[in-house]
Structure 1
Amino acid sequence: MSSEKIQAEVRTEFGKGAARRIRRDNKIPAVVYGHGNEPVHLTLPGHDTMMAIKHGGANAVLELEFDGQSQLALTKQVQVDPVRRVLEHVDFVAVKRGEKVTVDVPVHVVGDAAAETLVVTENATIQVEAEATHIPEQFEVSIEGAEAGTQILASQVELPKGVTLLTEADTLVVNVTAAQTAEQAEAALEEAEAEAGIEKDEPAAEAAEAGDSE
């Protein structure tokens, strides 16, 4: 994963009012932590930052340029406006080229399992150690033709060279089971309702007959 350059400005105003003013200018307040230094508060260009993070994925690494210096920064937390879907704030961790970092990388399931099976992703991410500038965007796990009973563990996920698995090797990532029939699904629902003490209403016809006999 290559880093994208972003022209940033050092931020001197803080608080909700200052953040609102920054966002009105289509910019994003951000902070960079790490390496024993004081946090650096920055203002980033809205569109360029959004595209860079979108392109880089969950663990995007940006090269932030400000005050004549350049800082590689790993995206750690992104706040998004739930309505407008624009970035509101970004937290970064300062990293260096060649430095190893611990990240959670998404798992992407590809292919089609055998007929009448159910594919469940038990763990949507795998934790690994990788160089800051070579973090995989995702891991592909193929379930093409997989039969019921197939289980893919973390140790079976193919990792690129230089990436070390940190998740426990026997962690279940993808589970392929036999799909339930309609009868099995109905029986399971009735069992769950019985355990919860839920009683089904009488059918309308039975209820009417009961009323006539009184």
Structure 2
Amino acid sequence: MASLKMKTENRIGVGSNEVKKLRADSFIPGVIYKRGEETKHVQVKESEFLKVFREAGTTTIIDLELEGKTHPVIVKDVQEHPVKNKYLHVDFQELNMDEKLKVLIPINLINRDSIKLQPSVLTQLLNEVEVECLPGNIPNTADVDVADMDFTTPIFVKDLDIASDEDITILADLEEVVCTLTEPSLEEDLDDEGLEDVDVEVPLVSEEEEEE
């Protein structure tokens, strides 16, 4: 699986004032941690992080360049501002390419807008699944095609495409339901049809009744 590249710099100041200055200069503070090694404090240009993170998410390996060395990492955690659409801090986990790790993989329902059985309501009950594998085998998503679903047979974890990959161990219950397909309820039918076709009689109120 191809990895992406991102440049970082060592971060000298770690106090709150220094962090504020970094953010004002459009940098995001972060750390690189690896088991058995000292945590590295880094900073990354906000524009570069956003560009790479949009594609990498939390499952794609990033080649993090720091002082002339390349560190294979994944984004383990990001802290977001509660109001502004900005990232405040990022945690990178450095990987040992020969050591398995556990990671959450987002579930992708293919053809969810092209389900053959209509009208119907698709309900996704599970959004991600935990797996264990070598870094080079981390999938971007766990996919399953829902175009041919019916009302009686839900999609299970065992139906995901990664379930047949010998290099990936799924840590979730294989019998856990991922999504279901049901017939729309009467209320949903009315919502779809709208209220413009429903005749409602409005009683007339006479002037004498209004005075009473």
Question: TM-score if structure 1 supplies the norm length?
Answer: 0.79
For 1:136, the equivalent position in structure 2 comes to 139
**Corresponding letter in the other structure for 2:8:** A
Matched residue of 2:58: which SS?
Answer: helix
Range 152-161 or range 60-69, more displaced: 60-69
CA separation in 2, counterparts of 1:164 and 1:66? 32
Contact preservation (8 Å) 1:62, 1:73: yes
- Measure, in 1, the Cα distance between the counterparts of 2:190 and 2:132: 41
2:182 to 170, 177, 181: 177
Q: Percent identity?
A: 23
8 Å Cα contact 1:117/1:176 also seen in 2: yes
Give the one of 152, 157, 162 matched to 1:154: 157
SS at match of 2:143: strand
Unaligned 5+ residue runs, structure 1? 187-203
Deviates more, 1:66-75 or 1:176-185: 176-185
CA contact (8 A) 2:156 2:174 kept: yes
Over 3 Å counting, the alpha-carbon distance change for 1:2 and 1:161 in structure 2 is: farther
The answer on whether the counterparts of 2:57 and 2:75 sit within 8 Å (CA) in structure 1 is no
5+ residue gaps in structure 2?
192-201
> 1:107 Cα deviation (Å)?
0.9
Indicate the SS of the match to 2:21. helix
Deviates more, 1:175-184 or 1:112-121: 175-184
Deviations 1:10-40 (Å, cap 9, x if unpaired)? 1120122111111122211001222122211
Q: CA deviation at 1:98?
A: 3.1
State the shift of 1:166 in Å. Answer: 1.1
Distance 2:51 2:137 in 1: 19
Q: In the alignment, what sits opposite 1:127?
A: 130
Match status 1:79 vs 2:104: no
- Alignment of 1:10 onto 2:20: no
TM superposition shift of 1:50: 1.5
* Alignment length (residue pairs): 195
Q: What amino acid is aligned across from residue 172 of structure 1 in structure 2?
A: V
State the shift of 1:171 in Å: 0.8
Instruction: Give the 3-state SS of the residue equivalent to 1:37 in structure 2.
Output: coil
1:168 counterpart residue number: 173
| Deviation at residue 145 of structure 1 after TM alignment | 2.9
